[in-house]
Amino acid sequence: MRAHAFLICAAAATIAAPTGYSQNTLPLSLKRAVEIALAPDGNTRVALAQESIEQARRRVEQAKAAFLPTIESSVSDRRQVTNLRAFGFSFEIPIPGFSVPSIVGPFTVFDARASAQQSLLNFADMKRYQASKVSLSAVRSESDITRNSVSDEVARDYLGCLRADAVRDTARANVELSETLLQLAQRQRTAGTGTGIEVTRAEVQLANDRQRLIRAENDRVRAILQLLKAMSLRLDSAVDFTDKLDFRAVDTAAAEALVEQARKTRPELTTQQRREEAARLNYGAVRSERLPSIGASGDFGTIGPAIVGSHGTYAMGVSLRIPMFDGGRREARRGETFSQLRQEQLRTRDLDQQIELQVRLALESLRSAAAEVEAARTGQTLAESELAQARRRYEAGVANSVEVTDAQTRLQRARDNQVIALYNHNVARLDLATATGTIAEYVNQ
C-alpha cells in the first residue's frame, strides 16, 4: 500500500518534470533516493529502529514507577465455616453439659479495602532509573547509526547504478564506434584499398561489442533492482538517474582534524559511550543494594458481617530495610555488573581505534582514487588521439585495419578505466563521509 501511494505521488510529480522523462518514470537523485529510504514507511531497518526507541522509552517508564505509589483495592463478601482446632484452639471447660464448639459458622464477612505502598528512599532504584534514561539515549543514537547505515547502503547502490549507466553508455559508444569502423572497412574494400579480412575483423569486433552491451544492460537492471530493494520500493518501478559519475576534489591534508571530527560526530562512538555509562550506573545500582532503604505503607478499609454495619479499619507505617546477608547473591551480581562495565570500556577503546583506522584508510583510498582519475583521463585522451591517427593512416592507405583495431581496443580499455576510476573516487568519498559521520552532508551535496 505504501509503495502504491508513493508511486502515485511520484507519477503526479513527474507531470511537471523535464520533457526528457517519461510520465511513468521517476527521476531519481541520490538525495531523493536516501530520503525515500529514510521515510517512516521506507526501509524496514529504519522502522525497526523507531520501535526500539519506543521499547526503551517504556523501560524508562517502568524504572520511574519505582518512585510512584502502588495502590491496590479489593472488595470481598464471603460466607465461611472455620474449624478452630485447625488453628490450635482447643477449649476444655470443666462444666458438665457445657462445651465450646470447635466449628464456628457459617458466618458472613464483608471486606472493602485499599492499600498503598510508597518507596521513600532507595538508592538502587535511583541508579536503575538513571541507567534506563542513559540507555534510552543510547538507543536513540543507535537509530542514528541505522539511518547512517541505510544512507550508506542506498548511496552505494545508487553509485552502483551510476556505474552501470556509465558502463552501458560506454558499451553503446563502443558499438557505435565499431559500426563506424565497419563502414570504413567496407568503403575501403569497395575502393580497392581494403581486403575482406579487414571487413571480417571489423564485424567480429562489432559482435563482441554488442555482446558487451547486452551484458551491460543486464548488469544495469540488476543494479536498479538492488537499489529499489534498499529503498523498499516496488521492484517493477521505472527510474531515471539525474546524477552522473563525476570528480569532486576533496581536501585530504588534515587527517588529524578529520579523525577528531569523526570522534565527535560518529553516532557509533556516542552510542558506545552511553552504553558504558549505563553499565556504570547498573554497577552502582547493585552496589547500592547494600544500603538501607525506607518505605511507607497504608491499608484502609471497612469490614463487618455486611455492608451495613461494617466498621472502618486502617493500618499505616514506615519501614526501614537494612540488608544483612542474602547468601552471596548480591556480591555475585556486583561482580557480574563490574565485568559488564569492563566489557563496555574495552569496546569503547576498540571502537575509537576502529574509527581512526576507517578515517585514515578512507583518506588513503581517496588520494589513490584522485590519482587514478587523473591517470585515466590522460589515458583516454591519448587513446582517442591514437585512434584518430590510426583512422587517418588507414583511410590514406598507409596502414591496415589491424592498427585501427588495436587503437580501438585501447580506447575501449581507456573508457572502462575512466568509469572504474570515477566510480572508485565516488566510493572513496562515500567511505570518508561514512567514516567521519558526515554522510548526510555527502548526500545533500
Q: How many domains does the chain have?
A: 1
- The closest of 16, 37, 38 to 27, measured between CA atoms, is 16
Is residue 431 situated within a structural domain? yes
Is residue 279 situated within a structural domain? yes
**408's grid cell:** 580501438
Is residue 309 situated within a structural domain? yes
Three-class secondary structure of residue 300 per DSSP: strand
Is residue 95 situated within a structural domain? no
Show the domain range for 116: 2-16+26-74+108-444
Is residue 40 situated within a structural domain? yes
**Whole-number Å distance between alpha carbons of 300 and 96:** 45
Is residue 183 situated within a structural domain? yes
Regarding beta strands 25-28 and 238-241, do their DSSP bridges make them parallel or antiparallel, or are they unpaired? parallel
Cell numbers 591517470: residue = 375
**Whole-number Å distance between alpha carbons of 420 and 397:** 36
Is residue 92 situated within a structural domain? no
Q: Over its length of 445 residues, how does the chain's per-residue pLDDT go in tens digits?
A: 344 344 334 433 433 333 344 457 889 999 999 999 888 777 788 888 888 889 999 999 998 888 888 899 999 888 888 887 787 777 666 667 666 677 887 888 888 989 998 888 888 888 888 889 898 988 888 888 888 999 999 999 999 999 999 999 999 999 999 999 899 889 888 888 778 898 998 999 999 999 999 999 999 999 999 999 998 888 988 999 999 999 888 877 678 888 998 999 999 999 999 999 999 998 898 888 888 888 898 989 888 887 777 888 888 989 888 888 878 888 898 899 999 999 999 999 999 999 999 999 999 999 999 999 999 999 999 999 999 999 888 888 777 888 888 999 999 999 999 999 999 999 999 999 999 999 988 888 7
Three-class secondary structure of residue 106 per DSSP: strand
- Residue 299 near residue 305, CB atoms below 8 Å: no
What pLDDT shows up at residue 14? Answer: 37
Q: What is the CATH number of the domain that holds 269?
A: 1.20.1600.10
Is residue 419 situated within a structural domain? yes
**Whole-number Å distance between alpha carbons of 246 and 153:** 19
Three-class secondary structure of residue 328 per DSSP: coil
The model's pTM is 0.76
